[in-house]
Chain A
Amino acid sequence: MMLIPCPWCGPRDDSEFAYGNQAHIARPNDPLATSDQQWAEYLYFRDNPKGPFAERWMHAAGCRRWFHVVRDTYSHVILQVYKVGEWPDPALGVGPASKES
């Protein structure tokens, strides 16, 4: 059970939200130059840390807007909430590999 602070609607129960998994995954820029291994990584391989994790949530039973959360996957403590187009706090060590999201 988690209380997730939607940046637009405020704190709501996690049952109101849909999960979008890891944030800041960039689609390969040049499909023809992308190897099978790189496609596999883009499609199927995600970080799965025990600790802080930058992820996407959508307030499905509220404003229906996507946003980002940095959450500790072991304690469920929410460390940062930020909007689409914004970036995680570098101090949390969950920075995206690429600046394209």
Chain B
Amino acid sequence: MAEAGRRRGPTGKPRYSILALARNALSYHENWQAAWRSPEPKPSYDAIVVGGGGHGLATAYYLASVHGIRNVAVLEKGWIGGGNTGRNTTIIRSNYLWDESAAIYEHALKLWEGLSQELNFNLMFSQRGVITLAHSEHELKEMRRRVEAIRLNGIDTEVLSTADVKKLVPIINTDQGIRHPVMGGFIQRRGGTARHDAVAWGYARAADDLGVDIIQNCEVTGFLKDGNGAIEGVETSRGIIRSKKIGCVAAGHSAVLADLAGFKLPIQARPLQALVSEPIKPVIDTVVMSNAVHMYISQSDKGELVLGAGTDSYNSYAQRGSLNIVEHQLAAACELYPIVSRLRVLRTWGGIVDTCPDASPIVSTTPVDGLYFNCGWGTGGFKATPGSGHVFADLMAHNRPNPIAAPFTLQRFKGGYLIDEHGAAGVAH
């Protein structure tokens, strides 16, 4: 096919456009090029990213596009986007309390705003607004204070009255006699949702185009170190792959990798569950979350109601949680949105999240030279995907603290400089 707007990457992928869509329609969509290659691993790379979720693929993409490091491999033990990237409830927002968090999440949100164009991939990014509910007088007062703090960081947010919430979410039950009455809330109108799989696919396609090797079904089973203890490569289920610069972005399995590398992380792996209903006609065109009852709701473009829950209390790597969490979540859903009570649940699932003591991520160097970790995003990593990859690529490329990532160092636990976002972020952790 003759392609007008070729990308400039080594593999020269044709651009996705309405013309390409029309042209491919003529051939019954049988001639679309594969979005990324499936190369055999090379013996060595300039940099290796362990973990092919959104954060890992974004890291590889920014290593190649911003820092010119194109001889990069992404090693994924399963398939790309098959972990938490494909299991989250796709919510994006940057209304965090502390300055450090505001900086990193707002950095991500600003990248989201131009990302579909940059990647030439429709991420279905929809700034439909994210509302957080207040269910008590105290919560409302604390929320007002938080809104002012967030606004001081230049991030859009507004307090809503109960009537405002009802206007934006007609299906919500604002009866003040219920167990968790809606007493108001706040909204970030620039927040919203994106298609989570598309984020992995878009970054994978763009990174592949710049020469990044995406290697799936390749599990890291050990780390190689040189005589001085610096990183030299990885042992994998597909053989030894060498590199002096390795970034681990493995979410729930971060502690397993840290064990292999010989140090500990302040991270616990916990199940986080979500579910979708059968698809129905549009009933809610925004995202509503509730801190007090650990439940959030939005509607996908297919029509399914997407409901997120809280984490289970115990450590697990099983990618499933306990039923009482789902019961709790559905009880809250039925009370706040009575029309959902007759809907059937289409499917439920769990992912393993890497929770940190202060509910903030770790984007850091490690005790091993040349080995970097990006983890601890816990229950809220999806929204940070572009920002996380962007600052982590910068850290890996230059081996110096990135200004935005610097507070999220592993050293903060020793120094006591915790960034305590527990309950402060307007979200159920």
Asked if B317 lies at the interface with its beta carbon under 8 angstroms from chain A, I say yes
Per-residue interface assignment for chain A, residues 27 to 42, with 1 indicating a CB less than 8 Å from any chain B CB and 0 otherwise: 0000000001100110
The stretch of A49-57, A81-89, A93-101 in contact with B is A49-57
Tell me which residues across on chain A come within 8 A of B265, comparing CB atoms: 45, 48
**In the complex with contacts A45-B264, A48-B267, A19-B317 CB distance below 8 A:** no
Instruction: Assign chain B's interface to a size class.
Output: 20 to 34
Tell me which residues across on chain A come within 8 A of B357, comparing CB atoms: 43-44
Chain A's nearest CB lies how many Å from the CB of B188?
Answer: 30
Is there an interface contact between B316 and A47, defined as CB atoms closer than 8 Å? no
Please give me the residue from chain B that is nearest to A13 by CB atom: B324
A interface, over-half SS? mixed
- Report B64-112 residues with CB < 8 Å from chain A CB: none
Per-residue interface assignment for chain A, residues 1 to 42, with 1 indicating a CB less than 8 Å from any chain B CB and 0 otherwise: 110000000000111001101000000000000001100110
The stretch of B11-19, B252-260, B294-302 in contact with A is B252-260
Chain B's nearest CB lies how many Å from the CB of A23?
Answer: 12
Asked if A64 lies at the interface with its beta carbon under 8 angstroms from chain B, I say no
Is there an interface contact between B413 and A1, defined as CB atoms closer than 8 Å? no
Q: Tell me which of B259, B313, B315, B323 contacts A73 (CB under 8 A).
A: B315
Is there an interface contact between A46 and B314, defined as CB atoms closer than 8 Å? no
Is there an interface contact between B264 and A55, defined as CB atoms closer than 8 Å? no
Most buried by B among A19, A37, A45, A55: A45
Please give me the residue from chain B that is nearest to A36 by CB atom: B414
Q: Tell me which of B315, B317, B318, B414 contacts A21 (CB under 8 A).
A: B315
A37–B264 CA distance with the chains assembled, in angstroms: 12
**In the complex with contacts A37-B414, A50-B317, A73-B316, A44-B322 CB distance below 8 A:** no
**In the complex with contacts A15-B324, A74-B318, A36-B268 CB distance below 8 A:** no
Please give me the residue from chain B that is nearest to A19 by CB atom: B313
A15–B313 CA distance with the chains assembled, in angstroms: 10
Asked if B262 lies at the interface with its beta carbon under 8 angstroms from chain A, I say no
Please give me the residue from chain B that is nearest to A16 by CB atom: B324
Tell me which residues across on chain A come within 8 A of B428, comparing CB atoms: none
A45–B148 CA distance with the chains assembled, in angstroms: 34
Please give me the residue from chain B that is nearest to A37 by CB atom: B414
Q: Tell me which of B268, B313, B316, B416 contacts A46 (CB under 8 A).
A: B268
Most buried by A among B259, B357, B414: B414
Tell me which residues across on chain B come within 8 A of A73, comparing CB atoms: 269, 315-318
Is there an interface contact between B315 and A53, defined as CB atoms closer than 8 Å? yes
Tell me which residues across on chain A come within 8 A of B318, comparing CB atoms: 73-76
Chain A's nearest CB lies how many Å from the CB of B310?
Answer: 13
- Report B287-305 residues with CB < 8 Å from chain A CB: none
Asked if B415 lies at the interface with its beta carbon under 8 angstroms from chain A, I say yes
Tell me which residues across on chain A come within 8 A of B267, comparing CB atoms: 48
A2–B314 CA distance with the chains assembled, in angstroms: 11
Please give me the residue from chain B that is nearest to A74 by CB atom: B317
Most buried by A among B259, B269, B317: B317
Is there an interface contact between A40 and B316, defined as CB atoms closer than 8 Å? no
Tell me which residues across on chain A come within 8 A of B154, comparing CB atoms: none
A21–B270 CA distance with the chains assembled, in angstroms: 11
Is there an interface contact between B316 and A48, defined as CB atoms closer than 8 Å? no
Tell me which residues across on chain B come within 8 A of A44, comparing CB atoms: 266, 357, 413
A44–B415 CA distance with the chains assembled, in angstroms: 12
Q: Tell me which of B268, B323, B413 contacts A48 (CB under 8 A).
A: B268
Please give me the residue from chain A that is nearest to B259 by CB atom: A49
Tell me which residues across on chain A come within 8 A of B315, comparing CB atoms: 21, 48, 53, 55, 73
Please give me the residue from chain A that is nearest to B355 by CB atom: A48
Tell me which residues across on chain B come within 8 A of A41, comparing CB atoms: 264
Tell me which residues across on chain A come within 8 A of B416, comparing CB atoms: 36
Tell me which residues across on chain A come within 8 A of B253, comparing CB atoms: 50
Q: Tell me which of A15, A36, A45 contacts B415 (CB under 8 A).
A: A36
Tell me which residues across on chain A come within 8 A of B313, comparing CB atoms: 18-19
Chain A's nearest CB lies how many Å from the CB of B90?
Answer: 26
A48–B253 CA distance with the chains assembled, in angstroms: 9
Q: Tell me which of A21, A50, A55 contacts B256 (CB under 8 A).
A: A50
Tell me which residues across on chain A come within 8 A of B255, comparing CB atoms: 48-49
Closest 7 CB pairs of A and B: A48-B255, A15-B324, A19-B313, A44-B266, A40-B414, A50-B317, A40-B413
Q: List 5 A-B contacts (CB under 8 A).
A: A13-B324, A18-B313, A46-B266, A47-B264, A53-B315
Beyond known contacts A13-B324, A14-B324: 17 more, CB 8 A cutoff: A1-B323, A2-B322, A15-B322, A15-B323, A19-B313, A21-B268, A21-B315, A44-B413, A45-B265, A46-B268, A49-B255, A50-B253, A50-B256, A71-B314, A73-B316, A74-B317, A74-B318
- Chain A residues at the B interface, C-beta cutoff of 8 Å: 1-2, 13-15, 18-19, 21, 36-37, 40-41, 43-50, 53, 55, 71, 73-76
